[in-house]
A and B are shown apart, each in its own frame.
Chain A
Amino acid sequence: MNPPKGTAAVNSPTGTARGAPFDLDAPWGLHPQVSVRPERFGALLYHFGTRRLSFLKSPALLSVVRSLDTQPSARAACAEAGIGPAELPAYARALATLAASQMICGRTGS
């Protein structure tokens, strides 16, 4: 049985609903069906399961997304990318949006 195409039926154990607070201390990762293409302004993301495009509007956000998989938490990924405390809330909002569209999803374990 295939998941319905284009309807985002993907498991996201710790995925957040749009607008819900984002858990910075949880482990996150790029969804396995998402492809990332760096561009001058940041990057383009394409999800082959939901068939949706998304945009990372800065190279710094791209760095954060790229290090999610290897860091124990989103907070650690932000620190790794050099994001200061003052900027953290904005990045958490950006990551929440990416989680809502399933571009990133929770990893099990840490």
Chain B
Amino acid sequence: MTVTAAPLAEEFRYGLDAPICLTWELTYACNLSCVHCLSSSGRRDSRELSTAECKRLIDEFERMQVFYVNIGGGEPTVRPDFWELVDYATAHHVGVKFSTNGLRVTPEVARKLAGSDYIDVQISLDGATAEVNDAVRGRGSFDMAMRAMRNLAEAGFAGFKISVVMTRQNVGQLDAFKAIADSFGAQLRITRLRPSGRGADVWDELHPTAGQQRELYDWLVAHGENVLTGDSFFHLAGYGQGLPGLSMCGAGRVVCLVDPVGDVYACPFAIHDAFLAGNVRGAGGFAEVWRSSELFTDLRRPQSGGACTSCSAFDACQGGCMAAKFFTGLPLDGPDPECVRGFGEAALATADAAAAPRPSVDHSHRAAPASRGSSARHPRQPVPVSIGPRPAERRGMPDRACDQSPLAGFAPPAAR
């Protein structure tokens, strides 16, 4: 029967002509200083793409038929040209889903957003109570997010997303998050905490315990497709029953990140030179980086599962998240640090934490929030300081989760 083809996941491993899920961080500037920020955002980078460069990139997305981009930051709405770029994208058939902490979502903005089919909004919230949320995202951030959600709901924007990064402190609030989403006619989206960016500093204290992972998995199985996950919990598929969506790492295959200075990384959680494929300012633009960069070509070759291939759960979890392994100092062909069989914990116990790769660039506000503490893996130590000119080239770190599921809203295959 000709309608039947190889399973789509198999096809996706070899890459697509254009990404399904492309995250584009517009700026490193942010009004907040979340302790787990994936892109270590705070201050704007002077090399960020100009309005004209952003528009040229959107033109390229249109030519490649990138259906939509997931815009983040930093806080993308602090860019003075943010709405201009959103309008430009939607006028060029590139849908926009943007993540915001709610800063600029006034009643007036909410009405404008509700009026477009091509715009979707995600409000970030990491606690169902101000106490839990503000400990991670900063004082006042809970109220700011709730105000934005009220404005969206009152403007008639049904189905906007509430985006939650799951932590040790908020796994117990899953039902409360769902209730908040329901009360606004919004949809809940939960994603995995990664040890990326400033997240590396707090991962030990914030990542869910093994017991909480099980609780999270059971909750997800019970709520099925009503809750979005960005397919970010595929490492939990090792518990048995798979979760809706795509059980594979999409980095460089169906997903990638364009950071504020135009650097293209394999995924939003892997902002490190090891996962840098190129820059959109290069001669071939974004298309050439996506289609022929050395890194992405490599990622599209069959990958080795290493020791994991002998595990009975490997077919389900595929060895887990590349970025989570990388930033905890584990080998990429070894177990995920949160492996449900416990192999990750064992590997972490013997790994050299101090040797784990560190983000090479940091746009954090210089007055770091008090909550940013030391951890067992990265104890706070005196910082050797040398006086001299600032480094000419600062590498950018991505931010916000790719929160985006390569297969957000995966619909059943058309034929089988």
The residue in chain A whose Cβ has the minimal distance to the Cβ of B21 is A53
Question: Is B237 part of the contact surface with A, judged by Cβ < 8 Å?
Answer: no
Question: Is B411 part of the contact surface with A, judged by Cβ < 8 Å?
Answer: yes
State how many angstroms separate the Cβ of A5 from the closest Cβ of chain B: 4
- Are B159 and A7 in contact, CB atoms less than 8 angstroms apart? yes
- Are B156 and A97 in contact, CB atoms less than 8 angstroms apart? no
- Are A93 and B415 in contact, CB atoms less than 8 angstroms apart? yes
A4 touching B159 in the complex, CB below 8 Å, given contacts A53-B20, A90-B415: yes
| Chain B window 1-34, contacts with chain A (Cβ cutoff 8 Å), 1 for yes, 0 for no | 1111110100100101110100000000000000
Number of A-B contacts (CB under 8 A): 116
Question: Is B187 part of the contact surface with A, judged by Cβ < 8 Å?
Answer: yes
State how many angstroms separate the Cβ of B226 from the closest Cβ of chain A: 12
- Are B117 and A33 in contact, CB atoms less than 8 angstroms apart? yes
Task: Tell me how many residues of A have a C-beta within 8 Å of chain B.
Answer: 38
Decide if the interface of chain B is mainly helix, strand, loop or mixed.
loop
- Are A60 and B2 in contact, CB atoms less than 8 angstroms apart? yes
| Chain A window 90-107, contacts with chain B (Cβ cutoff 8 Å), 1 for yes, 0 for no | 110110011001010000
- Are A35 and B67 in contact, CB atoms less than 8 angstroms apart? yes
| Chain A window 37-62, contacts with chain B (Cβ cutoff 8 Å), 1 for yes, 0 for no | 11111101010111111111110110
Q: Which one, B80-88, B291-299, B315-323, B402-410, is touching chain A?
A: B402-410
- Are A58 and B411 in contact, CB atoms less than 8 angstroms apart? no
Question: Is A110 part of the contact surface with B, judged by Cβ < 8 Å?
Answer: no
The residue in chain B whose Cβ has the minimal distance to the Cβ of A57 is B5
Q: Which residues of A contact B5 (CB under 8 A)?
A: 41-42, 57-58
| Chain A window 7-39, contacts with chain B (Cβ cutoff 8 Å), 1 for yes, 0 for no | 100000000000000000000000001010111
Q: Which residues of A contact B210 (CB under 8 A)?
A: none
Q: Which residues of A contact B410 (CB under 8 A)?
A: 53
- Are B117 and A48 in contact, CB atoms less than 8 angstroms apart? yes
Q: Which residues of B contact A94 (CB under 8 A)?
A: 3, 414-415
The residue in chain B whose Cβ has the minimal distance to the Cβ of A60 is B2
A58 touching B3 in the complex, CB below 8 Å, given contacts A6-B120, A41-B11: yes
Q: Which residues of B contact A49 (CB under 8 A)?
A: 117
- Are B414 and A41 in contact, CB atoms less than 8 angstroms apart? no
State how many angstroms separate the Cβ of A10 from the closest Cβ of chain B: 10
**Candidate in B2, B16, B410, B412 with the most chain A CB atoms within 10 angstroms:** B2
Question: Is B160 part of the contact surface with A, judged by Cβ < 8 Å?
Answer: yes
Q: Which residues of B contact A98 (CB under 8 A)?
A: 414
| Chain A window 49-91, contacts with chain B (Cβ cutoff 8 Å), 1 for yes, 0 for no | 1111111111011000000000000000000000000010011
Instruction: List, sorted by A's number, 22 A–B pairs whose CB atoms are closer than 8 Å.
Output: A1-B156, A2-B157, A5-B117, A6-B158, A35-B65, A35-B93, A39-B11, A39-B17, A41-B6, A44-B67, A51-B408, A52-B409, A54-B411, A55-B411, A55-B413, A56-B415, A87-B1, A87-B2, A91-B3, A93-B415, A98-B414, A101-B412
